[in-house]
Amino acid sequence: MNERSLGGGTRVRRTSFAGGRSSKTTGIGSRRRVAMQPLKRKSLTSILQQQQQQQKIQPKQTWSKQLGVITEIAEEESSLRSLVESLKVEFENVKKEHSELKEKEEETESIARNLHVKRRKSKSELEAYLAEEAKIRVYPRKPRVHKKKPKQMKNKAMELKKEAEATKNCAQRIREAAEVKVAGTRALDQIKLLSERGSAARASTS
């Protein structure tokens, strides 16, 4: 309501219909809201149903993924176990071969030492016989005393030759045993490395 002054002090009141208009507008808006409420309820219901369906589907998918991962881990663990078992068998075989080679090497070294001692002894004896032969050549007046010496020296030389060949063969066997020992050591190192890798892979999957 607005007041307006006229001449002579008279005031005229003007009634504003804004309140009426606003009340009409408010009534229309409330009717629209009432009309929209069923639509909103329907849309909310459909959204809730979709969410429930998704929640039902998601556990199945998650369970299937977890089952697939567990199956892969089990297969990998089984393969690692078989690998470890095969490595254990191979390790035992190499260990046995290494022990046998060590025994043969010790036996060969013992034979080589004995041959070396015999060779030195035969060499000293041969030198003594050669010295006696030189004396025979210098003093030819006593052929009866030294008649058997050349034959003995010849036999001794043959023995020395045989012992030298045996020593050579023994040295060859020692070299071969050393090479086999090195190969066995490398195989043991490789098996140890593979075993460590298998243990690390098994620990990573567990």
Which CATH number characterizes residue 44's domain? 1.10.287
pLDDT surpassing 70 at residue 77: yes
Question: Is 72 contained in some domain?
Answer: yes
Percent of the chain with pLDDT over 90: 0
In this model, does residue 41 exceed pLDDT 60? no
Give tens-digit pLDDT for 171-201: 777 777 777 777 777 777 777 777 777 667 6
Q: Quick check: 169 pLDDT over 70?
A: yes
pLDDT at 9: 45
pLDDT exceeds 60 at position 14: no
Q: Which is more confidently placed, 40 or 72?
A: 72
Summarize the confidence of residues 2-29 as an average pLDDT.
45
Confidence of residue 83 (pLDDT cuts 50, 70, 90): confident
Residues 6+ apart with CB under 8 A from 157: 126
- Whether 125 has a pLDDT exceeding 60, the answer reads yes
Averaged over 125-146, what is the pLDDT? 66
Structure tokens at 147: 């008649």
Instruction: Tell me what pLDDT residue 205 has.
Output: 62
- For the cut 50, the answer to whether the pLDDT of residue 145 exceeds it is no
The whole-angstrom separation of Cα 84 and Cα 191 is 10
Q: What six digits make up the tokens of 33?
A: 């809201």
Please give the Cα distance from 59 to 126 (Å, whole number): 97
The verdict on residue 167 lying in a domain is yes
Residue 4 confidence (pLDDT): 47
Mean pLDDT for 116-128 is 78
**Does the pLDDT of residue 81 top 50, yes or no?**
yes
Of the candidates 75, 95, 72, the one whose C-alpha atom is nearest the C-alpha of residue 83 is 75
pLDDT computed for residue 134 by the predictor: 74
User: What is the distance between the alpha carbons of residues 52 and 41, in angstroms, rounded to a whole number?
Assistant: 16
109-122: average pLDDT: 79
Inside any domain, residue 10: no
SS (H, E, C) the chain: CEEEECCCCCEEEECCCHHHHHHHHHHHHHHHHHHHHHHHHHHHHHHHHHHHHHHHHHHHHHHHHHHHHHHHHHHHHHHHHHHHHHHHHHHHHHHHHHHHHHHHHHHHHHHHHHHHHHHHHHHHHHHHHHHHHHHHHHCCCCCCCCCCHHHHHHHHHHHHHHHHHHHHHHHHHHHHHHHHHHHHHHHHHHHHHHHHHHHHHHHHHC
16 is a domain residue: no
**Host domain of residue 179:** 27-205
Q: Model-level pTM? A: 0.34
Asked whether residue 45 is assigned to any structural domain, the reply reads: yes
43: left (phi over 0), alpha (psi -120 to 50) or beta: alpha
Q: How many domains does the chain have?
A: 1
Is 18 inside any structural domain?
A: no
